[in-house]
Structure formats: C-alpha cells, structure tokens
C-alpha cells in the first residue's frame, strides 16, 4: 500500500497505534523487533506541522543500528543491551521533518555483521512466507516488518547486500543508493568504506520518494555527497524502451534452480518486447570468485578498528574484573557472540603489521580490480541485471550449502560489488519459487538512481508484483 493511500479513511493516531499493535502481534512469530517506541510524543509534535509533508503520520521502523535520542540502540548485541542514544542520527531528523512516526527498532545481525539475521542477541528473524526460513540479513527485521504489512517503510543498512538480499527473500523493494548519497551520521558502523544506508518499501514509487527525503549533503558525515538531490519520483515512468540491460552471465550460469531462471528469462523477454536492449555481460570469473574472501578481509578489518571502542568501560554492559584489562576481556567475551568474535579475529589477523601487505593491502588491490571490471561493463550498458539469489529464502537450519560452489561464491555473493564500487543498486520482486518470493537486482552507474528507479518501475509494471503483503496471523 503506497504512502498516498495508507492514511485514507483512518486517523493518524489510529494508523500509528494500529501499526504498533500489529508489530506486537506478529513479534512471537517473526521475532523482528528489538524494542518498541511509544509514539505519543511524536504524534503531539506532529500536530502543528503541515499535513502535506511527504511522510505525514506514516509509521516507520529503524534498523537497530540507528541512533534515536532517548531510545535503546543495541546493534542487536549483548554488549550494548543497556545503551540509550543521546542524539538523533541525521536520517532520524530527516524522517521526523518529513512527518514520519518511528515506532521501534528492528532486529539485525549483530552490528550488521552477517547475511542471515541469525546472529542477533534476540535470536533469528523468521520469514513471513515460511516461518521455517530465514529473513536474510543483516537488515532482516526491517525487511519482514515491511513484507508483513506492519509498516510501509523501514530503514536498513547495506555493507555487502544487507538490504537487497532480505528484500528479495521478502518480496519487497530494497534499495542501496550511491555511496555518500545518504548520510551515515549517527549509525553504528560495520565497515566504513562499504556501509550504505538503505531502506525497504512495498513499491518502487515509494522508494523514490523515500530517497528524495533521505538523500543530501550532511556536514556531520564528511563522506556524504555535495551532489544535488534529484526529483526521483519524476523519473519513475517505467519507460524501458532503448535502455540497455546487461545480464551478468556469471551469475545466471551459476544458478541451478530452473524455476528461477525460467522466470528471469521470461522477464528479460518482456523487457525486450517493450523495446529494451538485452545483452549478456561476462565479468572476470576469477574476480567474481574472489569477491567473498576479499569482502571478508576488508569488511572485518574495518569492523575490528570501528569496534575497538566497545570496551564496556565508558558505556555498554560491563562484566566485573580485577582490573580494566580483565573487565574489557570479560565484557567483550560475554558481549560478543561466536560469529562476531570470529570476524574480529579475521580482521585483527589481517591488520597485524606483518600481514597487512600480503592480506589487507592485497584485498584492497583485488577490490580495485573488481570495481574496474564492473566499471568497464557499465560503459556498454545502462544497467547490470541478474537474480538477487538463485533460490527463495533458505531454511533457518540449512546446512546443505556448498560454500565453494560457483552458485554460492558467485550467484549468492556478487551484489557485494555494489559496495566495493559504491554504485547504486536495488532489488525488486520478479517471481516466486513455490510460495517464496524471488528478487531481481539492478546496478547502475554512480548517482544514476533516477535511471535505476525508472528501470525498476518498468520491471514492476511488467510483473505486477508490488504492494505484496504476507499476512502473519498472531
């Protein structure tokens, strides 16, 4: 349901509390919320404001990495279980200025480190289409709250594919704009050179409007761009005629699921019938297979540096010890789960002086080669396109994945090139694998969000898959 129609025939107060009630009702099934926020004071502050604000009275949810003053922000961790934010992130200020009402914080993989949403201190998040399956991560809580109709928009972050993969698994729109397009000030980081603010909506037009609201320069984030914010909603005309789509053949060749590929091929044929130019693009095979290990080295090295301040001496949950060193060791051991500790070990090892050149610097060089390969591909097409995943959402307890197969290394991890490059990328629904949604991913050149949204609108018009809501019975 679009922003324009969501408030019809219902008061703002009733709509917001209806969303809050629904969030509580589905919590036992989805386990998507970390904390709930009483919206009363926000509703009072909204009364004197212009009711034509773009998000006037719209209930939204933040990923539990986003600081909002006087609310708990845990990063879905144990070590920050008692941390109360002293200030608003820039995007929180922008949401409030646009009239949005924030009703809670959504679960994520701890500090955004993961692709399953199984590592949160509060436990895994479940997919509304099949409660035995995962939401994807790290922004899985935000994704399923939109997919189940609790809120029409939720904030996520994307460091490898952490918005776009959960969007695919949940049958919704997930967008990661160009690096620097949205301020990251006030958001707990994972890897600073890869982190992007992203978000989820039920349709492309709402995604375009959300980007208009959130985008723009912020002097509190020196990586944010000076480029003017475009009227992205005006670009969403859905005209694909003459637009050049490059199918990433490395990805499609690696996918084994015939149902996925049949529907993807059908979509490409429909685009062609509308006048789109469809070609195949083959990226460097060695670089595609090196993407995941390269990501692991860079992301975890940056995370190790970013989270060195989590010592529990100044803030956070503290475990007793005989001295400061003992307190830090005990607090971090208790506060970090095993997968998080594993990532910090990888990051620390890569940053050892004797290892920096042969591991960390080498990974940075490989990253540059990957970006150059993608840049070259986008010089001949307007958009790179491929299924966001070869399959619908995996089972929570799935242990059958071959981690060295091309299907896993390439088809399930290729979207990280959008983070390596900082290029805009988004996922929209294009079909179903049984009852499970499938998403198609689009990646365009830097700051071509308008083009990307137009192409996504064209796909949405062809599939008719928008405003999908999977009702979860309490």
Find out whether 128 and 148 touch, Cβ atoms under 8 Å: yes
We report the CATH number of the domain holding residue 261 as 3.90.1300.10
For residue 394, give both structure tokens.
């995996």
Query: How confident is the model at residue 474, as a pLDDT?
Result: 79
Which pLDDT does position 454 carry in this prediction? 98
What integer pLDDT is reported at residue 4 of this predicted model? 64
Tokens 């909204």 label which residue?
A: 46
Which stretches in the chain have pLDDT values below 70? 1-2, 4-9, 399-404
Give the contacts of 460 (CB within 8 A, at least 6 positions apart).
Answer: 203, 204, 238, 428, 429, 466
pLDDT of residue 401: 64
For residue 223, give every residue at least 6 positions away whose Cβ sits within 8 Å of its Cβ, in sequence order, or none.
Answer: 179, 180, 184, 192
Per the CB < 8 A criterion, the answer to whether 349 and 128 are in contact is no
- Structural domains of the chain, count: 1
What is the bridge-based pairing of β-strands 33-36 and 101-106?
antiparallel
* Residues with catalytic roles: 63, 138, 162
- What torsion do the CA atoms of 231, 199, 432, 436 make, to the nearest 10 degrees? -170
| pLDDT at position 250 | 97
CB 161 within 8 A of CB 122: no
Task: Pull the structure tokens for residue 454.
Answer: 């137009």
Model-level pTM greater than 0.75?
yes
- Whole domain around residue 474: which residue ranges? 1-474
* Number of Cβ within a 10 Å radius of residue 8: 8
């Amino acid at each position: 349901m679009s922003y324009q129609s969501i408030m019809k025939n219902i008061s703002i107060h009733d709509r917001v509390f209806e969303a809050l009630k629904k969030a509580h009702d589905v919590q036992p099934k989805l386990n998507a919320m970390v904390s709930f926020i009483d919206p009363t004071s926000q509703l009072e502050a909204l009364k004197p404001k212009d009711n034509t604000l773009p998000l006037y009275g719209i209930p939204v949810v933040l990923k539990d990495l986003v600081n909002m003053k006087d609310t708990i922000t845990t990063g879905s961790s144990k070590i920050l279980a008692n941390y109360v934010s002293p200030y608003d992130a820039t995007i929180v200020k922008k949401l409030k200025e646009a009239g949005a009402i924030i009703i809670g914080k959504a679960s994520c993989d701890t500090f955004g480190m993961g692709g399953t949403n199984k590592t949160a201190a509060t436990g895994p998040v479940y997919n509304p289409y099949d409660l035995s399956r995962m939401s994807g991560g790290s922004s899985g809580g935000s994704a399923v709250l939109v997919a189940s109709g609790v809120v029409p928009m939720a904030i996520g972050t994307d460091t490898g594919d952490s918005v776009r993969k959960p969007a695919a698994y949940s049958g919704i729109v997930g967008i990661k704009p160009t690096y620097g397009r949205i301020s990251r000030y006030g958001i707990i980081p994972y890897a600073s050179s890869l982190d992007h603010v992203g978000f989820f909506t039920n349709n492309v037009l709402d995604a375009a409007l959300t980007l208009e609201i959130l985008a723009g320069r912020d002097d509190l984030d020196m990586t944010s761009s000076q480029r003017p914010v475009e009227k992205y909603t005006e670009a969403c005309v859905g005209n694909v005629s003459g637009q050049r789509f490059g199918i990433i053949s490395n990805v499609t060749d690696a996918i084994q699921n015939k149902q996925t590929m049949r529907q993807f091929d059908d979509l490409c044929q429909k685009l062609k019938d509308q006048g789109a130019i469809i070609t195949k693009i083959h990226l460097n095979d060695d670089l595609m297979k090196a993407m995941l290990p390269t990501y692991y080295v860079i992301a975890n090295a940056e995370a190790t540096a970013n989270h060195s301040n989590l010592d529990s001496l100044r803030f956070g949950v503290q475990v007793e010890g005989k001295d400061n060193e003992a307190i830090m060791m005990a607090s971090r051991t208790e506060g970090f789960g095993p997968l998080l500790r594993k990532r910090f070990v990888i990051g620390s090892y890569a940053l050892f002086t004797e290892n920096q050149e042969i591991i960390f610097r080498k990974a940075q060089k490989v990253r540059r080669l990957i970006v150059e390969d993608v840049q070259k591909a986008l010089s001949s097409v307007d958009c790179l396109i491929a299924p966001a995943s070869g399959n619908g959402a995996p089972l929570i307890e799935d242990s059958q994945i071959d981690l060295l197969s091309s299907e896993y290394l390439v088809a399930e991890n290729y979207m990280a090139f959008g983070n390596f490059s900082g290029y805009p990328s988004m996922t929209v629904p294009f079909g179903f694998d049984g009852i499970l949604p499938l998403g198609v991913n689009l990646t365009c050149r830097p700051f071509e969000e308008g083009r990307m949204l137009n192409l996504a609108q064209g796909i949405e018009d062809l599939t008719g898959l928008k405003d999908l809501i999977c009702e979860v019975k309490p």
